Amino acid sequence: MSPAPLIERYRERLSLEPGDPVVTLNEGSTPLVEAPRLSERLGVRAYLKFEGANPTGSFKDRGMTVAVSRAKGRGAEAVICASTGNTAASAAAYAARAGLRGAVIVPEGKIAIGKLAQALMHGARVVALQGNFDDALRIVRELAHKHPIELVNSVNPHRIEGQKTAAFEVIEELGGAPGALAIPVGNAGNVTAYWRGFQEAGTAPILYGFQAEGAAPLVHGEPVASPETVASAIRIGNPARWEEAMAAFTASRGRVAAVSDEQILDAYRWLAAGEGVFCEPASAASVAGLLAHGLPTVEDSEPPESVVCVLTGHGLKDPDTALSKAPAVINCENDLSAVEQAVFE
Ligand code: F0G
């Protein structure tokens, strides 16, 4: 039996109305995987929260099940979002499931191919904008204001409500909160959601947020007009949940820092080959950040004894980046000794 849908597990802690339908694909209950080699490198017990195991391959499904259930409950007929890819895939899937129309606005040429395939296959109207994510978000906010269409970006409060359940799961599985949590930061919805979840459970792990160097507005303290990074999921210059995310870093005694594309790609390959966990490049920013910066603590506080790294999306989302960074395939003749040579040499 698959685990209960997230809304069934946590309904009383979520924001749904009593009559709302449950639009679900059995999201949540994702693996918390021990990471022995990462633990060794960091000198602290490390775990990977593998959100790539959600139905559409990213953490967005946690928020989407709640946001789309609420949208359906209040009689919406369509949903819309701006996206660097994963929100689009998830919104399209849950809209299909709910029998709603879906429209997604993505930055042209800047989303991973698997995410594009998902959004199209689920029947959403996919609009490729000649602009970046921040432009797309500004436009969909205006459209949702003008038309009777539900905005399902993480500016939608129900998205945050659903995503906070990942913190509940971590606490349940470890028998308490970890000492620290490392997380990639783009539009800053997910870090906001984890902090809310931990706080509601009466805990306060240290939060380490990581942005890509070329898309690090929170680190620089000002919006980035033309964000650039290989981690296309977090290519965002003006996060919508800016203040809440910064408040969470401060309250948790944590911090937000930047990692280079090279550090992200190194961690991405190393996790796949060294821990057997294939996440997408943006997700690897959480591990890259810890490897690059360690686990800094404020004065007078003990270093954390355990850390959970949130791996936000599945590696199969972005086969282009994987293949461009992976070792070459070995071509071989149809012959035993040729294969023997290819395998053993
Ligand atoms: N990791 C992945 C794989 C993502 O897709 C995103 C965001 C993030 C991390 C950052 O999360 O925005 O809550 O800080 N993706 C959004 C999208 C923007 O459109 O799919 P955040």
pLDDT in the model for residue 302: 80
CA distance 157 to 139: 19
- Residue spans of the domains in the chain: they are 6-58+158-324, 60-155
Ligand 1 centroid to residue 1 C-alpha, Å = 30
CATH of span 60-155: 3.40.50.1100
Written in H, E and C, the secondary structure of 170-237 is: HHHHHCCCCCEEEEECCCCHHHHHHHHHHHHCCCCCEEEEEEEHHHCHHHHCCCCCCCCCCCHHHCCC
Nearest atom in ligand 1 to the alpha carbon of residue 279 is 3
pLDDT in the model for residue 336: 98
Query: What are the b/e assignments for 288-306, b being 16+ CB within 10 Å?
Result: bbbbbbebebeeeeeebeb
Enumerate long-range contacts of 270-274, CB under 8 Å, 24 or more apart.
Answer: 271/38, 271/48, 271/311, 272/315, 274/37, 274/38
pLDDT in the model for residue 1: 65
- Give the Å distances, CA to CA, from 276 to 50, 198, 203, 231, 290: 12, 28, 30, 20, 18
Give yes or no for a contact between 210 and 288, defined as CB atoms under 8 angstroms apart: yes
CATH architecture of 6-58+158-324: 3-Layer(aba) Sandwich (3.40)
**Domains 6-58+158-324 and 60-155 fall in the same CATH topology:** yes
Q: How many CB atoms lie within 10 A of CB 266?
A: 18
Give yes or no for a contact between 129 and 105, defined as CB atoms under 8 angstroms apart: yes
Ligand 1 centroid to residue 215 C-alpha, Å = 13
Q: How far apart are the first and last CA of the chain?
A: 44
pLDDT for 139-198, tens place per residue? 999 999 999 999 999 999 999 999 999 999 999 999 999 999 999 999 999 999 999 999
Using DSSP bridges, classify how beta strands 255-259 and 206-212 pair: parallel, antiparallel or unpaired: parallel
Pocket test for ligand 1, best of 187, 232, 243, 244 (most atoms within 8 A of CB): 187
Nearest atom in ligand 1 to the alpha carbon of residue 51 is 3
Per-residue pLDDT of the chain (345 residues; tens, 9 = 90+): 678 999 999 999 999 999 999 999 999 999 999 999 999 999 999 999 999 999 999 999 999 999 999 999 999 999 999 999 999 999 999 999 999 999 999 999 999 999 999 999 999 999 999 999 999 999 999 999 999 999 999 999 999 999 999 999 999 999 999 999 999 999 999 999 999 999 999 999 999 999 999 999 999 999 999 999 999 999 999 999 999 999 999 999 999 999 999 999 999 999 999 999 999 999 999 999 999 999 977 776 788 999 999 999 999 999 999 999 999 999 999 999 999 999 998
Give yes or no for a contact between 96 and 121, defined as CB atoms under 8 angstroms apart: no
Residues with CB under 6 A from ligand 1: 58, 60, 83-87, 154, 184-190, 233-234, 280, 282-283, 312-313
Pocket test for ligand 1, best of 58, 234, 317 (most atoms within 8 A of CB): 234
